[in-house]
Amino acid sequence: MENLIGKHFVITGGTSGLGYALTKVLLERGAKVTLLVRSMTKFKQTFFPHNTHLLQAVQCDLNSAEQIKRLDFAHATINGLIHSAGLGYFKSISAHSEEEMLETYRINVVHFNILLNHLAHSFSEHPYIIGISSLAAHSTQAHSGHYAASKAAFNQVLNTYRLEHPNYHILTVNAGPIRTPFHAKADPTLKYATQVDKLMLDPDKLANQIIIYMLRNKAELNAPKWLNSLLKLYQLAPRKLERAFPKLFNNKKE
Ligand SMILES: NC(=O)c1ccc[n+]([C@@H]2O[C@H](COP(=O)([O-])OP(=O)(O)OC[C@H]3O[C@@H](n4cnc5c(N)ncnc54)[C@H](OP(=O)(O)O)[C@@H]3O)[C@@H](O)[C@H]2O)c1
């Protein structure tokens, strides 16, 4: 596959899960990578198997708009921005604390926007913008309301951005469950993760697929495909299906 020597990517969420897998793929292909990390200690403890001389990290807690706006890429050219940082709390809407609710929208959508605007001056002419979203953007369930809403908003921002910047290659990745530390944070009881264990996507395989889609200038990657097709059916009669198959819409709660 095509190498990425000389290309510079900025990645959020690169110290864990899918963002970590994407970082490994890009480094292996010879890209220069800058990670935005909230913890330099965690970054230093994270093992990257390939081309670590091409890797650097900059401290930035994405919860803080001030820290994002202090990032200085004035003398750098950015060929790609990957927003993989993200989180959700799998609990009822009423059980979310105010801070959990705000954090979900900040990291998943609002502060991504602030980051995008802030870095735009350093983008190359045809930058890749990859947003790691979720199939939850297509359909909500009990106990994932704010997560699904934030991802739906994220997708619409990316779709609008694609229309407003035709010279950008924007790829939205809508993923089903992925085998990452995300689940232990979203629901420490791991009830949902246990239910969907057999369906979990492998982050390394998904990362490779994302880079292939990126290089082909695709606009969307939905994985797994069968789950995305089911969700398309759901769009045809959402309220009827919610009544007919209540279990499917409550499996984050049970
Ligand atoms: N796992 C799934 O089942 C699944 C399914 C669909 C979509 N997704 C989406 O995939 C993306 C990647 O998630 P993942 O599964 O790889 O989860 P993960 O392993 O929990 O990784 C999340 C990353 O986000 C970073 N992050 C969170 N808050 C941050 C903050 N305030 N400042 C800076 N970085 C912050 C974390 O930093 P630390 O390393 O410091 O914790 C971590 O690197 C997310 O957007 C998620 O919504 C996940």
How many Å lie between the centroid of ligand 1 and the Cα of residue 241?
Answer: 30
Contacts of 83 (CB under 8 A, 6+ apart): 12, 13, 112, 115, 130, 131, 132
Residues in contact with ligand 1 (CB, 6 Å cut-off): 12-13, 15-19, 38-39, 42, 61-63, 84-87, 107, 132, 134, 175, 177-178, 180-182, 185
Query: pLDDT tens, 94-106?
Result: 999 999 999 999 9
Residue 169 near residue 126 (C-beta atoms within 8 A): yes
CA-CA distances (angstroms) from residue 89 to 23, 170, 193, 207? Answer: 25, 27, 13, 24
Query: pLDDT tens, 64-78?
Result: 999 999 999 999 999
Contacts of 84 (CB under 8 A, 6+ apart): 11, 12, 13, 14, 17, 18, 19, 22, 132
User: Mean pLDDT by 10-residue block, N- to C-terminus, for the chain (254 residues)?
Assistant: 90 98 98 98 98 98 98 96 98 97 98 98 98 94 95 98 97 98 95 92 98 98 94 87 83 72
How many Å lie between the centroid of ligand 1 and the Cα of residue 76?
Answer: 25
Q: What is the pLDDT of residue 94?
A: 97
Look up residue 86 and give its two tokens: 């993200």
Query: pLDDT tens, 150-195?
Result: 999 999 999 999 999 999 999 999 999 999 999 999 999 998 899 9
Which of 68, 80, 156, 163 minimizes the C-alpha distance to 112? 68
Q: What is the pLDDT of residue 113?
A: 98
Pocket test of ligand 1: the residue of 178, 185, 187, 222 to mutate, having most ligand atoms within 8 Å of its CB, is 178
Which of 178, 177, 170 minimizes the C-alpha distance to 154? 170
Q: What is the pLDDT of residue 1?
A: 65
Pocket test of ligand 1: the residue of 87, 109, 151, 183 to mutate, having most ligand atoms within 8 Å of its CB, is 87
* Domain architecture of the chain: domains with CATH: 8-249 (3.40.50.720)
CA distance 193 to 251: 10
